[in-house]
Amino acid sequence: MSEPQAVKALTECCGSARWVAGMIARRPFASRKELDAAADEIWLSLGRKDWLEAFAAHPKIGERSAPLRRAGRAGSWAAREQRSVERATRDVRNALEAVNFEYEERFGYIYIVCATGKTAEEMLALARERLLNDPADELKIAGEEQRKITRLRLDKLLDNGESS
């Protein structure tokens, strides 16, 4: 990929500009293992501001129109990652909306969870549990969830025959 193409593709994997710049600076990657190691190392080296920038690039869990507003792969990935919410009951969707609001009020950023493979009910239960966390601990948990999301998206990017 050209550098502009790689920037666009990596931004779809993680919304932190510093993470993307770090990944671009380390190109080319000799293997998937090297790419994954760099992705993790760079992510863990970033600060709160960078993490919040990445979190802000995500739609809220259960926000039906948000993934569709995002263009390209990131929007379709977000929609697929949250697919289980579409099948949830109205009560669960309403509860997710309420817990999203409460979470954002408490911590100052949206509820981040690696939604792949989780039901809407599981995500709701996790959000309720995480509301009890200390803010510093919760930031670390949210950061780990973002790291997992980024790794899954890098896998999707590479599985489509695209490289960074």
Euclidean distance between CA atoms 94 and 87, whole angstroms = 13
Exposed e or buried b per residue across 107-144, where buried means at least 16 C-beta atoms within 10 angstroms of its C-beta = bebbbbbbbbebebeebbebbeebeeeeeeebbeebbe
At 43, which amino acid appears?
Answer: W
Active site (catalytic) residues: 58
Contact 93, 62 (CB under 8 A): yes
Question: CB of 50 within 8 A of CB of 146?
Answer: no
C-alpha to C-alpha distance for 124 and 60, rounded to whole angstroms: 12
Local structure of 99: helix, strand or coil: helix
Check if the beta carbon of residue 58 is closer than 8 Å to that of residue 112: yes
